[in-house]
Structure 1
Amino acid sequence: MTRLKAISLYTGVGGLDFGFEAAGFETAVAVEMDPTACRALAANRRWPILGEDIHRLTAGQILSAGQLSRGEADVLIGGPPCQPFSKSGYWVRGDAKRLDDPRATTLEAYLHILEKAQPRAFLLENVHGLAFRGKDEGLEQILRGIEAVNRRCKTSYRPAVAVLNAADYGVPQLRQRVFIVGSRDGTPFSFPAPTHGALSENTESELQPFRTTWDALGDLPSLMNDPSLKMSGKWADLLPTIPEGENYLWHTKRGGGSALFGWRTRYWNFLLKIAKDRPSWTIQAQPGSATGPFHWANRKFSAVELSRLQTFPEGLVLPFSRNEIQRLLGNAVPSLMAEILAREIRRQLLGRRRQTSDLLLMPVRRGPAPPPQKLAPLPKKFRELIGNHSDHPGEGLGNAARMRLTVAA
């Protein structure tokens, strides 16, 4: 059977594409301006790649590279760069520039290609901050843009919008993203219901238990002596004193350790460690030296481990520095999430069913996880920090907020 054709924008390292590939799609053309991401794509797949800023390409060039005519592509997929709408922007600056940020024009570029290519269906992915209540101007821009495409082109794209957590679908990682899906002929799309959840006493639940980090990584070597994965910086020796599944809050007066910090005076990912029996927290693209999540063995993740947590296909070649790999994989969509949505697009909007019901990228179950490692004693160099530290005073009342008000005045 002929594989369905996808146009891929903002392809990155290929997280969406690998999932659509598993669901029976072929990337007819990929558009990605990052040279490192382009090298990664070329090392692993033989897709036509346009390594150029999308704003410098015409829709005709993209269609030509994919050997497609207008209306011939089965799906347009892509995740425009999400920094203008990222929640992390609020931590750093108290707010983000959002549509005032030049990177927000990537949304307009996506809509331009949607209009000119007119695929049978589309999927757009972004950080869930795109849909924050009261700060959803990016989402509103997309929806208005789709309405304008329909008016000009006599199409009937009817977008369905949902914020989904990848862990609810079998990805061993808590990662919320907004997805927008639509069909050219107006066929409505229904997002799949969650299939996984936390274990509870409710034995009547039809949900499967979350896939865990042990499911994803349990068969891999320990890598304890790999120097490239060793933590560095001021706080490296403090991580072994924090239990699995905890962060710096362990060392506050409300935690179980020593009172080294005030409650919520650091960002959530500070010294954050995964637990074997739970999904990981969201993998970061550009973490600092103490920004987690970190491996339960008190180190950074390897390339293979990051790929597993992102449910990428096995055997990818990533001949780059560890920092580059972290950036590429941290910015990607979990491929299992893409496979699940691609199957639903294929079934609901394109009238094509898969021959097998098994998800190709679903992690295997490995049984109960081993017990946590024994905690290390608090190093002497941190004992001088023990004291009666003040808690964070509340949202909008911290030092950064006061400084912003002073500057504004």
Structure 2
Amino acid sequence: MRSLDLFAGPGGWDIAAHGLGWDVDGVEISTDAKATRAAAGLKTIADDVRDVDPMPGEYDALIASPPCQSFSAAGLGAGRRALDAVLHGVRRYALGERPAFAELADLTGDERTALVLEPLRVALAMRPTFIAWEQVPPVLPVWQACADVLRTAGYSAAAGYLHAEQYGVPQTRKRAFLLARRDGQPAALPTPTHSRYHSRTPDRLDPGVAKWVSMADALGWQDAPVEAVKRMGRGMVERHGERPGRSIDAPAFTVRAAAGGTEPGGFVWKLRSGQSWEGRVIERRIDRPSLTLLGSANRCRWERGEETRKVTVDEVATLQTFPADFPFQGGKSAQLLQVGNAAPPKLTRAVLTAAVA
């Protein structure tokens, strides 16, 4: 299976694709991410997605995770404000037009926002058999509109939200996905293998599937005393206290490039996010999944009482389900940015498996 990965980053999709035996050509503009890809043995064939114009039949599959900053709830929201303009751009494709990127950038008011339509341009040009795209939740209406365009081009398509903890990722990361295929089979999102993490009722588990994976399980910190954690080379996990959060036996919050929980009546390691929501600190106990990990993970801290320290790249990469010792390149902040912005390989493997099933 020959596949093209647009906005490939450090390889969140590529790791999964290689595990399925696919050959992947990546397109990535970040110098640090390209260095990581090279160190990991992943191919990068071009820097700028706008320069990519594959021939029909050149690739069997098209993968894409466009930049999310302008759409993300953690950003300034330029993409959300430009949503109507982006949807207007999709309608131009639906009418059979092929607008130039400069036109779309003018239409949306931001080049980075306009990049969300590049996968549609490439798909209609190269007509791959399989398509798998990912973005932050506010982009779902765009994916739904793109799915309609792809259906007129002979594809079956499905678009919707996926929750990472439902596929074994120790993190509650919600993302919008689009799957399409042109082989006569109906496109469908993957069936969950694990329970949703219900933050208001953590003991509630969905029937018929496995329990979500906790940070403690992923990091190997179950019942480990502080000294043992240090000997494991992971360092201490940061301070304990009685603020609300997620325990180590729960999935992590969404892993971002800024990565902080509590246990009634005792001290337990917590992951405290560098983000806040309506003035509240966001944190989770280590016996639960992590919060969503973002590109700002450098601000995340482990806490246990008065003990505290920043997360390491290896810890955040583990919560994002990258392989152990994955060779991220660049300074610590650059590495955490790559991890937080990547799609979790365990989730992308479930998506790619469903895409061709």
Q: TM-score, normalised by structure 1?
A: 0.64
Residue of structure 1 aligned with 2:158, choices 153, 157, 160: 160
Would you say 1:16 and 2:13 are equivalent positions?
yes
The one-letter amino acid of 2:53's match is: A
On the 8 A contact 2:66/2:115 being kept in 1, the answer is yes
The whole-number CA distance in structure 2 between the counterparts of 1:97 and 1:201 is 38
Shift of 1:300: 2.1
Partner of 1:52: 47
Partner of 1:139: 143
The whole-number CA distance in structure 1 between the counterparts of 2:241 and 2:2 is 51
Residue of structure 1 aligned with 2:22, choices 25, 35, 38: 25
The one-letter amino acid of 1:146's match is: L
Cα deviation, 1:26-73, whole Å, max 9, x if unaligned, reads 21x1100111100000000142x1342212x1414xxxxxxxx52242
The whole-number CA distance in structure 2 between the counterparts of 1:44 and 1:270 is 38
In structure 2, list runs of 5 or more residues that go unmatched.
87-107, 248-259, 263-274
Shift of 1:84: 2.5
SS in 2 for 1:77: strand
Cα deviation, 1:149-181, whole Å, max 9, x if unaligned, reads x4xxxx412220120100011110000001100
On the 8 A contact 1:170/1:210 being kept in 2, the answer is yes
The whole-number CA distance in structure 1 between the counterparts of 2:139 and 2:212 is 26
On the 8 A contact 2:63/2:133 being kept in 1, the answer is yes
The whole-number CA distance in structure 2 between the counterparts of 1:94 and 1:107 is 9
Structure with larger Rg = 1
The whole-number CA distance in structure 1 between the counterparts of 2:29 and 2:236 is 28
Residue of structure 2 aligned with 1:216, choices 187, 205, 218: 218
**Which protein is richer in strand relative to its size?**
2
Would you say 1:82 and 2:68 are equivalent positions?
yes
The whole-number CA distance in structure 2 between the counterparts of 1:335 and 1:249 is 25
The whole-number CA distance in structure 1 between the counterparts of 2:336 and 2:278 is 19
The whole-number CA distance in structure 2 between the counterparts of 1:273 and 1:299 is 14
Identity of aligned residues (%): 25
Number of residue pairs matched? 298
SS in 2 for 1:81: coil
Aligned CA distance change for structure 1 residues 223 and 271 (closer, same or farther; 3 Å): farther
The whole-number CA distance in structure 1 between the counterparts of 2:349 and 2:38 is 21
Aligned CA distance change for structure 1 residues 341 and 288 (closer, same or farther; 3 Å): closer
Residue of structure 1 aligned with 2:332, choices 308, 316, 322: 322
The whole-number CA distance in structure 1 between the counterparts of 2:172 and 2:32 is 26
Which deviates more, 186-195 or 9-18? Answer: 186-195
The one-letter amino acid of 1:31's match is: V
Would you say 1:278 and 2:288 are equivalent positions?
yes
The whole-number CA distance in structure 2 between the counterparts of 1:45 and 1:240 is 40
Would you say 1:245 and 2:245 are equivalent positions?
yes
Partner of 1:183: 181
Partner of 2:354: 344
Residue of structure 2 aligned with 1:307, choices 306, 317, 328: 317
Partner of 1:169: 167
Cα deviation, 1:191-213, whole Å, max 9, x if unaligned, reads 222221257577x9222111110
The one-letter amino acid of 2:47's match is: E
CA RMSD for the aligned pairs? Answer: 3.6
Partner of 2:192: 194
Pairing 1:254-293 to 2, within 5 Å after superposition: 266-267=276-277, 271-287=281-297, 289=299, 292=300
Cα deviation, 1:237-295, whole Å, max 9, x if unaligned, reads xx654447269999xxxxxxxxxxxxxx9526964333221110101202574xx4646
Pairing 1:48-127 to 2, within 5 Å after superposition: 49-55=44-50, 57-60=51-54, 70-89=56-75, 96-98=81-83, 99=86, 100=108, 101-127=110-136
In structure 1, list runs of 5 or more residues that go unmatched.
61-68, 232-238, 251-264, 348-409
Which deviates more, 212-221 or 102-111? Answer: 212-221
Aligned CA distance change for structure 1 residues 23 and 93 (closer, same or farther; 3 Å): closer
The one-letter amino acid of 1:210's match is: W
SS in 2 for 1:143: helix
Q: TM-score, normalised by structure 2?
A: 0.72
